[in-house]
Chain A
Amino acid sequence: MASSSTKTIQDLTQRDYKYGFVTDIEAETVPRGLNEDIIRAISEKKGEPEFMLEWRLKAYRNWLTMKEPTWANVHYPPIDYQNIIYYSAPKVKKQVGSLDEVDPELLKTYEKLGIPLGEQQRLAGVAVDAVFDSVSVATTFKEKLKELGIIFCSFSEAVLEHPDLVRQYLGSVVPYNDNFFAALNSAVFSDGSFAYIPKGVRCPMELSTYFRINAADTGQFERTLIVADEGAYVSYLEGCTAPMRDTNQLHAAVVELVALKNATVKYSTVQNWYPGDKQGKGGIFNFVTKRGKCLGENSKITWTQVETGSAITWKYPSCILQGDNSIGEFYSVAVANNYQQADTGTKMIHIGRNTRSTIISKGISAGHGQNTYRGMVKILKGARGARNYSQCDSLLMSSTCGAHTFPYIEVKNSTARLEHEASTSKIGEDQLFYCRQRGIKPEDAVNMIVSGFCKEVFRELPMEFAVEAQKLLGVSLEGSVG
C-alpha cells in the first residue's frame, strides 16, 4: 500500500504546470534598467498628473537608500534590478467600448485562462478588470456598478479620473518607504485596480481581477487600492496564472485596503504563478506587500489566500486594527512543492480597543519545498481588551521538504488575550488506511485528507473561487503521500 500511495503522491506532485503558454502580442516596452528617466518615461506614457510623478520619484530616491531584506527563510540568486524591463504594455492602447474591439489574441488568452469575459460573464456574475501585463484592456460590468456609485477601474484610469481619491488614500496604508519591494513598486508600478465603494453601499457582485505576466523579462509591479467608505461592503477576488518561462521573473505588487467605519472588505487570492520546473529552475519571484487598515470603528478586513504557485513567495497580508471593535482575519493555504519556497504569514497590529483578530494558516510541503509561516501579533498599549487566536498547521508530504513556523507575539497591554497553536505532522497512515479500506483510490484519499486539512480556509472563499482553489490544490499536489 505504501508504495502505491507513494506513487500516487509522486504522480500528483509531478504534474506539469497546466497554464504554460506565451501569447504573441506586440508589446511596447521601455529600455532595461531603472533610473529617474525611466520613471519619468513610465509616468509620461501613462499621462499621469504631476503629483504621481513626484510620488514615484520620492519612492525611487528612498529605494536607492534601502537594502534588500534578508531575514526571510528563502534563498535565491541576487536580482539584478538594472536588468529588468520596468514597463510593458500591449500596443492596443486605446480604451475600448466593446469586446469586438479587443485584440482577438488577448481574448484567446483569457479563454485559456478560463476568464468568463464573454456574454457568460453576466451569468457568472463576475466583473472582471483584466490586467494583461500592465495595461487594463477591458472592464466589464462598469455600468451596473456605476449605478450604485461604485468606482471599479484600472489604477491608471483612477489616477486620471479620480485623482482626489487616489491622492487621499495612495500610500496611506503602505507608505512609499515601507520596505524595499514596496518602495520599488511605488516608483515603477505600471497598473492595477482601483475600487471605491461609497457610503452604505453593498457591492452586489464579487469584484475580480486576473493578473497575468506575459512579455518575457518584464517585472510586474501591480498596485491595487480598495477603499470601502462608511458602512460599505466589498468582496474582491484576485487570481493569477503565468506562462511557462525559464528566467526568473520578479513580481513586486502592493495592495492597500482601507475600511472606514462599519465597512467590510474581503480580499481573496488564488495565486498560481509558474513555480519553476521540477528541478527548481525558473519560476516567479513573488515579493508582495499587502496591508489593510481598519480605519473606522467596527470595520472588518478579511484576507483569504491560496498560494500554490511561484518559485518564491514573500507575502504577509496584514491588518492594522485602528478603529475600536475592528476585526482582522487571515485565512491561508500555502503549498510548496518541488523546489518552491514560501515565506508567508500575516501581521495583526492591534491599536484600537476591543479589536479582534483570527489567523488560520495551513502549510503544505511536498518534494523539496520549504514552507514558512511567519506572523506577528502586536498589541499596542491602548488596545484594551484585544483578542487574538492563531492556529498554524503544517502538513509534510515528503522526507525532503521543510515546514517552519515563526510566530512573533508582542503584547503591551495586559488586558489582551492571545492564543497561538501550531502543529506539524504528516498524513496519518491510519487515515489513509481507513480510506483505502473503503475502496477509495490512494490519490483520492490524499486529496480528501488535504481538502479536509484546508477546509477552514476554503470555507472563507467565495463559492466559485473555492471550487477553483480545491482543483488547484489537487493539481499542485497530485500523488503526495508517503
Chain B
Amino acid sequence: MSTARAGIEKDPYLAAFARLRKESPAWKGSWTRPLREAAITRFAEIGFPTLQEEEWRKTSVAPILRVPFAAQPAYSANGFTAKALERYTFEPWECTHLVFINGHFAPGLSRLRPLPEGVIVEPLAQALEKRRDEIEPHLARHADDRHHAFAALNTAFMQDGVYVRIADGASIEEPLHLLFISTSRGEPVVSYPRNLIVAGKGSRLSIVESYVGPHHDLYFTDALTEIVAGEDAAVDHYRLQRESEKAFHVAVLQADLGRYARLGSWNISLGGGLVRTDVNALFGAEGGEVRLDGLYITGGSQHVDNHTLIDHASPGCTSHELYKGVLDDRSRGVFDGRIIVRKDAQKTDAHQTNKNLLVSEDALVDSTPRLQILADDVKCTHGATIGQIDEDAMFYLRTRAISEAAARNLLIQAFVSEVLHGMRIEPIRAGLECLLFTRLRKGHGAGVEA
C-alpha cells in the first residue's frame, strides 16, 4: 500500500524509538512497553501515508518528513511564565488549567482547583503506573492505529497529557482546560500529547484542549485523545488549535459512546501551517447522540484537513454534523466527512453539512461528504456548499453606508456564528468571537495570530 514512499523516511522515528527503549527511565519495566512496541511495529508496517491513499489524497505529509524533529527528553519551562500564558486562555475563566510544554507536564504553570468527589484529573504519565488497573483496559484500545501512521507513532512515543476519570453519577461543572504549548527554540521539536477520558454512567464533563505555540516556531504536534463515554454520560469536547503558522499539527480524537451517551465536539482550527485532524465517533450501543461542529479559518499558505467519521454501529442513534470553513489568501481547506450506518443500525438519524466560504481568488477547497448506508429504516442527509460572499447581502450593507471591508467582515462573522453559537462555554465563545473580530479588522481574513 505504501510502497510508493521510500521506507527511509521512517528511519529517524524507528531510530528514536530504539534509543528511547534503551535509555528512557520511564519506559523501563513499564506495562506500557509492549503497547509501545506493538505500535512501532505497526508503524513500521504501514509507513507514512502517500497521496495514493484515499484517506490522505489531499494532504501530503512530505513537508513534515523533511524536517528532522526530535522530542524534548524532559520537562523544562523553556522560559514560559504564568503571565505569558494568559493570552492563551479566555477571561474571565476560572477553572482547572493543566499546562504541558513540548509534551511534558508543567506543574509550576498549571492551576489545579479542588475537584468534586468521584473525579480524578491527573497527568497521564503519573497516572499510568499508579492507576494501571483503570487505564489498561482503555489506553490505546479505542483509537485505530492500524491505518493511521501518526496514531501509531503517538502510541509508540506518547509523552503526557491528561487522565480523567469521572465516577458513575459524578459530574464536574467547570470545564477542564488542557493547554499544550510547543516551542522549538532553534531545534525543531516534536511532541506527542496523549489524553484518556473515561466518563462513567450518567456523568457530565466538559474538556477543552488548546494547542498553541509562539509565532514563527517550527515544531510538530502529534496528538491523540480517547474518550470513553459510559451509559447516559454527556461529554463536551473542544479543540482550539492555534498553533504557529509554521507548525505541523496532526491529531486524532476517538470517542466511543455507550447507551444513550451524548458527545458534543467543537473542532476549531485557526493556526498551523499543515494541519490534519481526525474526529471519530463510534456508537457502541443504542440511543447515542453526537454533535460534531467544526470551524476552520485559514489564511496565508495554510493547509487544514478535517476528516470526520461517525460510525452508526447501533440502532436509534442521532448525529448532527456542521463544519464550516472560511478560506483566504492561498490557503487550502479539506473536508472529508464519512457517515457509516451499519446493517442493524435502524432508526438512524444522521445529518451532515459542510459549508465553505472562499474569500480570496487563490484559496482552494476540497469537500468530500460520504454516506455509507447498509440499513434501510434511516434518515440520512448530507450537503456541501462552496461559494463566495453573497453579492446581494454585500450590496444591502453598502447601501447602508457600511464600508466594503466592514461589510465583508460582518458577513464572514455571520457565516461562522452558526458554529460559535452552539458552544456551551460562554468565555470560549465570546473569546473566539473577539479573536476573530480583531483578526478580520486587521485585514487578514483568517488564520494565524499576529
Contacts and interface: CB of A to CB of B under 8 A. Distances in A.
B375 A407 contact: no
Chain A: interface residue count, which band? 20 to 34
Interface string B366-386: 111111111111111111111
Interface stretch (A130-138, A241-249, A264-272, A392-400): A392-400
A83 interface: no
Contacts of A405: 369-371, 382
Contacts of B380: 423-425
Interface of A is mostly: strand
Nearest to A379: B386
A394 B373 CA distance: 10
Interface stretch (B156-164, B301-309, B357-365): B357-365
Nearest to A73: B372
B368 A417 contact: no
A416 B360 CA distance: 11
A358 to B, nearest CB: 15
A334 interface: no
Name the residue among A400, A401, A411, A412 with the largest chain B CB count within 10 angstroms. Answer: A411
A420 B358 contact: no
Nearest to B348: A424
Name the residue among A71, A394, A399 with the largest chain B CB count within 10 angstroms. Answer: A399
Contacts of A394: 371, 373
B363 to A, nearest CB: 6
Given A403-B373, A425-B378, A411 B368 contact: no
B388 interface: yes
A231 B356 CA distance: 38
B54 interface: yes
Interface residues of B, number: 35
Contacts of A71: 54
Contacts of B155: none
Contact of B368 (A398, A409, A412): A409
A403 B356 CA distance: 26
B387 interface: yes
Given A394-B373, A419-B385, A420-B385, A399 B367 contact: no
B277 interface: no
Contact of B374 (A402, A409, A411, A482): A402
Nearest to A408: B368
Contacts of A436: none
B208 to A, nearest CB: 31
Contacts, number: 107
A397 B370 CA distance: 20
Interface in A365-414: 394, 396-414
B54 A411 contact: no
Contacts of A426: 376-378
A398 B375 CA distance: 8
A87 to B, nearest CB: 35
A412 B370 CA distance: 21
B373 A424 contact: yes
A411 B360 CA distance: 12
A327 B368 CA distance: 23
A399 B346 contact: yes
Given A399-B376, A413-B361, 14 more contacts: A394-B371, A396-B373, A399-B346, A399-B375, A402-B372, A402-B374, A409-B366, A410-B365, A410-B366, A411-B366, A414-B359, A414-B363, A420-B369, A423-B380
29 contacts: A394-B373, A397-B376, A398-B376, A402-B373, A402-B374, A406-B368, A408-B366, A408-B368, A409-B367, A409-B368, A409-B384, A410-B364, A410-B366, A414-B359, A415-B361, A416-B386, A417-B387, A417-B388, A418-B386, A420-B384, A420-B385, A421-B383, A422-B381, A423-B381, A424-B371, A424-B378, A425-B379, A425-B380, A426-B377
Interface of A: 71, 394, 396-426, 482
